[in-house]
Each structure stands twice: as C-alpha cells, then as structure tokens.
C-alpha cells in the first residue's frame, strides 16, 4: 500500500527500512529511504508503522519481519 504519495513510499519499504536501518524518528525513516517529508500527511502513519516494527508488533502480513506470520512482542528489557 502507498503510504506517502509525495515520495511514493509503500508500507513494505517503510517496514524494511525499520528492520534493516533501525530508524528512531519519522525523519530518519525518510532519510533511510532517500527522501524527505513533503506535505507531512503520511507522518502519522509512518510513525505508527515505525512503532509497530521497532516494538515487534508488525502486522501479520509483514513480509520483512523475522517473525512474520506470528504473533510476537518485543523481548523484555533487562532490569
């Protein structure tokens, strides 16, 4: 699905960047994908995808996640 019409970014491209580059902000996601924000309408959706990917809660259809197709959560942090 196209998430960003200005830069023609798909949800799959964003998830791939999240799993390979490990960006922490939406600005870093754009940078990983070789572009920059334009109108900003997609920023909220990119942030949601970023949070899901980094939190280990990708959509069940995430084909780039190492745990694709399984219900998974982020590992517990060491105390």
Which runs of E-coded beta strand occur in the chain?
2-4, 9-10
Confidence of residue 78 (pLDDT cuts 50, 70, 90): very low
Alpha carbon 64 to chain centroid, angstroms: 10
At 18-72, the pLDDT tens digits run: 999 999 999 999 999 999 999 999 999 999 999 998 887 766 556 666 545 444 4
Structural domain contains residue 11: yes
Question: What is the tally of helices (H) and strands (E) in the chain?
Answer: 3, 2
Question: What is the pTM assigned to this prediction?
Answer: 0.71
Structural domain contains residue 78: no
Structural domain contains residue 62: no
Q: Which domain holds residue 33?
A: 2-54
Closest of 29, 39, 47, 53 to residue 6, by C-alpha: 39
Structural domain contains residue 64: no
Count how many domains the chain has.
Answer: 1
Structural domain contains residue 66: no
Structural domain contains residue 31: yes
Structural domain contains residue 70: no
Q: Return the DSSP state at 74.
A: P
């Amino acid at each position: 699905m196209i998430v960003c019409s200005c830069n023609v970014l798909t949800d799959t491209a964003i998830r791939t960047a999240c799993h390979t580059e490990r960006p922490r902000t939406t600005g870093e996601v754009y940078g990983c994908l070789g572009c920059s924000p334009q109108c900003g309408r997609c920023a909220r959706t990119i942030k949601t995808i970023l949070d899901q990917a980094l939190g280990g809660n990708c959509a069940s259809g995430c084909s780039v996640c190492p745990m694709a197709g399984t219900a998974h959560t982020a590992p517990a942090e060491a105390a």
